[in-house]
Amino acid sequence: MDNLSKQLIDYFISILGESNVLVNEPMKNHTTFQIGGPADCFLQVSNLEQLQVILKCIKQTEYEFMILGNGSNVLVSDQGYEGIVLALTGEFKDLQVSGNDICAGAGATLKEVANYALSNSLTGFEFAAGIPGTVGGGVLMNAGAYGGEMCHVVKSVTVINFDGEVFHMSKDEMEFGYRKSAVMRRPFLILSVVFELSVGVKEEILDKITNLNQQRKDKQPLEYPSAGSTFKRPKDYYAGKLIMDSGLRGFRVGGAMISEKHCGFVINYDNASAQDVSDLMTQVCDKVEDCFGVRLEPEVIRIGRF
């Protein structure tokens, strides 16, 4: 609480309740790397009215803030995050079906959406069943796997700006690209997404999800904490193969390691620090560039001081 006044903390508690205001909260508890020092304040926000009040307050105080989904694509500094972290819970995890459309709150996980689609015999979302992220984070970065991407199924997106104003964006307005969207470049937070799917056969949908999950289990180091695929795919190459062909399979820095199972993954092999992971990523990028003249770009977002 060194960087936040007791008055501000008490105000957050009056809005959210004491159990939803966590001071000096270790971010390792909220990231799939299981790494990260404390955030000054971690707020669990459960409805739009709360979010609007909190955003207005943060804007007035000018504290740095960020929104966190499943923590699956981030690396938080060992020193933590000097600011306020917002996690969307409650109504932001709601799922509703209307015909072939599913409206999903930004805080729902992609796995939950895939299972909900399955239960309603809707197909098209199977590719995302194993992506370890939330709707908000997945759509923000146009996450994808096995030939599918969020842009293939997004119909519209509801966002909020830092003044608390709510807007609706069409698929075209999202300007999706490889691991990016227009929201990344604008002061917006995603509130919910409408996915447009197709009627399918439940047994066939289940079979596809099962097969894709088995492929993921066979090929990816799911037994270790990681942030998923660590590097973006360079044009005309595959990051994992470049890393493997550079002789870096099993390469370690401290407790961080290039997975021996899939070289595109950096894993928390043995109580790695954030600095271990960051240094390993940099050394891998340098080595691959030396070997092949290709500079890898991390997909994982560094948060805090490195």
* Residues designated as active site: 179, 229, 299
Beta bridge pairs of residue 266:
258
Residue 100: count of CB within 10 angstroms of its CB: 17
Query: Is residue 132 helix, strand or coil?
Result: coil
Residue 111 CB partners (closer than 8 Å, separation 6+): 128, 129, 130, 131, 132
How many whole angstroms separate alpha carbon 12 and alpha carbon 9? Answer: 5
Show the beta-strand stretches assigned E in 62-165.
65-68, 74-76, 81-88, 95-98, 101-105, 122-123, 144-145, 148-149, 154-161
Contact in structure between 34 and 225 (CB atoms under 8 Å): yes
Distances (CA, A) of 144 to 65, 109, 148, 244, 265: 27, 14, 5, 22, 16
Q: How many residues does the chain have?
A: 306
Residue 260: closest CA among 271, 270, 273, 247: 247
